[in-house]
Amino acid sequence: MDRRNVLILCVAAAILRLLVFGSVATAGETGQNLTQESMVEKALRRGVLRVGFDTFVPWAMQDKNGEYTGFEIDVASRLAKDMGVKAEFIPTKWSGIIPALLTDKFDIIIGGMGITAERNLKVNFTIPYYNSGMSMFANTEKCKGWKSLEDFNKPGVVLALRMAATPKAAAAKFMPKAEVRLFDSEPQAVQEVLTGRAHAMVSDAPFPAHTVAEHPDKLFLPVKGTFTKEPIGMAVRKGDPDTLNYLDNWIRIVEAEGWLSERYHYWFETRDWAGRIK
């Protein structure tokens, strides 16, 4: 090999080294920037974790002192405490909760949000921290003798639903012949059933059972237990792998402690908290 070819090879090797080390340096800077801009890092610098949610018994509601309480409030409060920051709760109508997250009105949704393919196109979800399921209650006078989902799957039946994707999907799958009416909040939907303007309400358990316990003379549970299974996750903005890593591992830790199952039992399987609510 002559001197000219050796020189060319040396120059090429030097350029290759520059490209490789430059790429490594750029990748390192990019990773560092992503870490600094993650939701967790911003919350740590701010000293506050901003939590978006909608009120829904017993997930999140106001007690007699006007303070928010419920299963999701416990989860968010524990998460903020473990991060060493304060939790700021930002109540938001369910219909606008994902757009509010995407426009940085808050950092995270912790509010009983079911993981669905449609929602996952807009936000990233953590691993599930519990599973929910659909149940229903019905107007006793209008639905005498009805004991199955098929009894409600016919024209002329009106189902009242809170405006959310999962109850609507459950009604469409199991009772496609019924008419669906959507409402911004569960009290509106409950009132429709109590007054007889709707036959039944489809909602996440244990809300139907709790509602029947409050109105045993007017409402009943036509179907025992739940008829769907739905994984529930926390939602964050896309492009933030460090935050997802932290949240996923936090869920694994508190799940292994038994803390999540203990709080779930208290809020979903007992009524010990009922006296604290307005």
CATH 3.40.190.10 residue window(s) in the chain: 43-131+231-276, 134-220
The CA-atom distances, in angstroms, between 233 and each of 12, 15, 45, 138 are 51, 48, 25, 29
> Cα(12)–Cα(7) distance, rounded to whole angstroms?
9
Q: Is the pLDDT of residue 27 over 50?
A: no
> Cα(73)–Cα(71) distance, rounded to whole angstroms?
5
Instruction: Enter the DSSP assignment of 169.
Output: H
Written as six digits, the tokens of 253 are 């830790």
Return the pLDDT at 99. 97
Return the pLDDT at 164. 72
Q: Is the pTM of this model over 0.85?
A: no
Return the pLDDT at 12. 55
For the segment 181-195, what is each residue's pLDDT rounded down to a tens digit?
999 888 999 999 999
Return the pLDDT at 31. 47
Examine residue 208 and say whether the peptide bond preceding it is cis (omega within 30 degrees of 0).
no
Helix axes 71-83, 259-269, angle to 10 degrees: 160
Mean per-residue pLDDT of the chain: 89
pLDDT grade for 224, boundaries at 50, 70 and 90: confident
pLDDT grade for 131, boundaries at 50, 70 and 90: very high
CATH of domain 134-220: 3.40.190.10
> Cα(85)–Cα(226) distance, rounded to whole angstroms?
37
Return the pLDDT at 76. 98
Q: What is the pLDDT averaged over residues 23-50?
A: 73
Q: What's the CATH fold of domain 43-131+231-276?
A: D-Maltodextrin-Binding Protein; domain 2 (3.40.190)
Q: What is the pLDDT averaged over residues 145-166?
A: 92
> Cα(129)–Cα(80) distance, rounded to whole angstroms?
16
For the segment 52-81, what is each residue's pLDDT rounded down to a tens digit?
999 988 999 999 999 999 999 999 999 999
End-to-end CA distance of the chain: 90
Q: Is the pLDDT of residue 127 over 80?
A: yes
Q: Are 103 and 34 in contact (CB under 8 A)?
A: no
More confident residue, 149 or 271: 149
More confident residue, 111 or 31: 111
More confident residue, 210 or 233: 233
